[in-house]
C-alpha cells in the first residue's frame, strides 16, 4: 500500500494530477484510511493503463468509462475488448505517422548538415525532390507520402 506521494514519485506524476484523476473517477475502488488515499497494486495497474490509453489519445471521460467497466465484473469483457481494439488501431496509425515525422526530421537534419557545409542551399535545391542520395531519398519520400 502506498500514499499519494509515493505514487507521485513512482510514476513521476504530480500529486495534484493524481487527485484530479481520482476526482474524475479514474480510481473507482480506491480505499481511504481516515481520509487519506491508500493506493494498491490495483491503482498502480490502472495508472499503467491510463498512461497507455492517454498515449492513444483517449480522453479522461473515456478512460473513466473503461475503468468503470473494469470494476463492474465479467459482464463487460466485450465492451473493454472492443474499446481496446479500437485504441490499438488508433495507436498503430499514430505510430506510422510518428515514423514518418521522424524520417522527415532525419532528412532535415541531413539537409542542414549539408547546408552548413556548403554555406547555402543551392546544391541541395538541385537535388530536390528526387535526386537525393539513395538513403536520404528514402527518408524524404517516406516523409512526403500521402497517408491512406
Residues near a second copy (CB under 8 A) are 48-49, 51-52, 55-56, 74, 77-78, 80-81, 84-85, 87-88, 91-92, 94-95, 97-102, 104-106, 108-109, 112-113, 115-116, 119-121, 143-144
Contacted by 59, from DNA, a second copy, none: CB < 5 to 8 Å by type: DNA
Whole-angstrom distance, CA of residue 37 vs CA of residue 18: 10
Among 4-12, 75-83, 103-111, 129-137, the segment contacting DNA (CB under 7 A): 4-12
For DNA, give the closer residue by CB, 20 or 77. 20
Whole-angstrom distance, CA of residue 48 vs CA of residue 65: 16
Whole-angstrom distance, CA of residue 69 vs CA of residue 83: 11
Residue 59 within binding range of DNA, rule CB under 7 A: yes
Among 30-38, 65-73, 84-92, 125-133, the segment contacting DNA (CB under 7 A): 30-38
Residue 20 within binding range of DNA, rule CB under 7 A: yes
**Cell digits of residue 24:** 474524475
Block residue for cell numbers 515514423? 99
| CA distances from residue 75 to 72, 79, 82, 86, 137 in whole angstroms, order as listed | 7, 9, 13, 19, 52
Block residue for cell numbers 491510463? 50
Amino acid at each position: 500500500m502506498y500514499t499519494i506521494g509515493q505514487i507521485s514519485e513512482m510514476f513521476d506524476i504530480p500529486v495534484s494530477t493524481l487527485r484530479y484523476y481520482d476526482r474524475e473517477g479514474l480510481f473507482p475502488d480506491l480505499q481511504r484510511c481516515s481520509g487519506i488515499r491508500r493506493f494498491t497494486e490495483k491503482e498502480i495497474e490502472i495508472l499503467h493503463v491510463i498512461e497507455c490509453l492517454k498515449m492513444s489519445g483517449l480522453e479522461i471521460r473515456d478512460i473513466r468509462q473503461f475503468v468503470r467497466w473494469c470494476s463492474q465484473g465479467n459482464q463487460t469483457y466485450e465492451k473493454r475488448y472492443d474499446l481496446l481494439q479500437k485504441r490499438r488501431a488508433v495507436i498503430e496509425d499514430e505510430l506510422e505517422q510518428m515514423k514518418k515525422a521522424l524520417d522527415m526530421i532525419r532528412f532535415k537534419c541531413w539537409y542542414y548538415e549539408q547546408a552548413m557545409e556548403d554555406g547555402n542551399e543551392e546544391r541541395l535545391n538541385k537535388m530536390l525532390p528526387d535526386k537525393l542520395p539513395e538513403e536520404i531519398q528514402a527518408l524524404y519520400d517516406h516523409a512526403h507520402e500521402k497517408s491512406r
